[in-house]
């Protein structure tokens, strides 16, 4: 029995400043996928698809992102859960601003075909210093699709930190999902990282970006051998792909392209990595870097400490 799994990544623009209208658009697209591609079992959208903005671009309405933050579950997620229940599909509606007391997280949720939130993930690495108003999460996230396999979840800037995807793979993830929202020129660099993360972890990697003001498109799907299966351009696109998770088993067992059995060698190697100590980054050359802050007028930030 093969472990086939149909997935659709939706690269779209949001309705500016209107979470309700954006959820309507998400619902329309998801329902169309359900009707026209009945083999698709999961639909995934980009980071912050519902609120549709991040702090550093909110010059027109600077408090809108805070107003769109709510508890999870809440009114927005209830609508999304009902959508998943109607279509009987797994739904990852990008991410939302989650309010917990006086803290706000950038949170992705995973909704089952039964319309239940089975898990949620709070972005561990907000894009600092720009996203400094959000609180970093502190928990990795994997979840199981019955009779298929284990999936891992990260958000946008997490991809710049290989420790995140490596931990997800170590936790058993065979598919790594990354809703992102990158309107900047470093999307070209992220494409390299997405492919590299797939290769390092011998896993599928699915990165879905937005378009328009809050995204530059170029969503992609990479297989566990590092082959780019699909890459979108910069227009609205639905990427549909049939993933075969048995390919992950094959790649990890026989090696990438039948050559490098890297995860096995990492498991069996008798190495300690001095860069890590007690679960944190140890003191070292990075201590010479300046504070994590915006450079202004060409000046350098103060040194740490």
Q: How far is residue 210's CA from residue 178's CA, in Å, rounded to a whole number?
A: 12
Residue 6: predicted pLDDT: 98
Q: Band of the pLDDT at 151, cuts 50, 70, 90?
A: very high
Alpha helix (H) residue ranges in 37-141: 64-67, 75-87
Q: Which residues of 225-261 are buried (b: 16+ CB within 10 A; e: fewer)?
A: bbeeeebbeeeebbbbbebbbebbeebbeebbeeeeb
Q: Band of the pLDDT at 301, cuts 50, 70, 90?
A: low
220 phi/psi in degrees, rounded to 5: -155, 160
Q: Is the pTM of this model over 0.75?
A: yes
Going by the DSSP 8-state scheme, the letter that residue 26 receives in this structure is H
Tokens of 305: 């400490």
> Once rounded to an integer, what is the mean pLDDT over residues 249-266?
97
Residue percentage of the chain with pLDDT more than 70? 92
Output the furthest CA–CA distance in the chain (Å, rounded): 61
Digit-coded pLDDT (tens) for 55-99: 444 444 545 556 678 899 999 999 999 999 999 999 999 999 999
Q: Which residue ranges form the domains of the chain, and what is each CATH number?
A: 4-288 (3.60.110.10)
Digit-coded pLDDT (tens) for 23-60: 999 999 999 999 999 999 999 999 999 886 554 444 44
Q: How far is residue 223's CA from residue 204's CA, in Å, rounded to a whole number?
A: 5
66 phi/psi in degrees, rounded to 5: -70, -40
Q: Is 219 helix (H, G, I), strand (E, B) or coil?
A: coil
Residue percentage of the chain with pLDDT more than 90? 76
Residue 304 above 70 pLDDT?
no
Give the burial class of 119: count Cβ atoms within 10 A of its Cβ; 0-12 exposed, 13-18 middle, 19 or more buried: middle
Q: What is the overall mean pLDDT for the chain?
A: 92
């Amino acid at each position: 029995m093969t472990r086939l799994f149909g997935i659709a990544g939706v690269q779209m623009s949001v309705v500016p400043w209107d979470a309700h209208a954006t959820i309507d658009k998400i619902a329309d697209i998801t329902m169309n996928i359900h009707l026209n591609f009945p083999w698709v079992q999961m639909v995934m959208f980009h980071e912050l698809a519902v609120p549709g903005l991040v702090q550093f671009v909110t010059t027109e309405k600077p408090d809108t992102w805070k107003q769109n933050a709510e508890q999870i579950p809440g009114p927005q997620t209830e609508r999304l859960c009902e959508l998943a229940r109607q279509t009987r599909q797994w739904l990852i509606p990008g991410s939302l601003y989650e309010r917990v007391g006086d803290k706000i997280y950038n949170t992705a949720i995973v909704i089952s075909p039964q319309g239940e939130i089975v898990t949620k993930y709070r972005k561990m690495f907000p894009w600092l210093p720009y996203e400094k108003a959000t609180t970093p999460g502190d928990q990795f996230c994997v979840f199981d699709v019955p009779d298929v396999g284990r999936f891992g979840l990260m958000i946008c800037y997490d991809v710049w930190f290989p420790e995140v995807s490596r931990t997800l793979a170590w936790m058993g993830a065979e598919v790594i999902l990354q809703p992102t929202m990158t309107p900047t020129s470093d999307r070209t660099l992220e494409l390299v990282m997405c492919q590299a993360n797939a290769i390092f972890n011998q896993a599928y990697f699915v990165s879905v970006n937005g378009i328009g003001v809050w995204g530059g498109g170029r969503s992609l799907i990479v297989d566990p051998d590092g082959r780019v299966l699909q890459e979108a351009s910069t227009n609205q696109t639905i990427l549909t792909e049939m993933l075969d998770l048995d390919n992950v088993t094959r790649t990890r067992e026989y090696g990438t392209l039948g050559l490098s059995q890297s995860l096995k060698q990492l498991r069996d190697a008798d190495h300690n990595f001095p860069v890590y100590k007690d679960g944190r980054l140890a003191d070292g050359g990075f201590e010479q870097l300046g504070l994590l802050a915006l450079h202004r007028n060409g000046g350098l930030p103060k040194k740490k400490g």
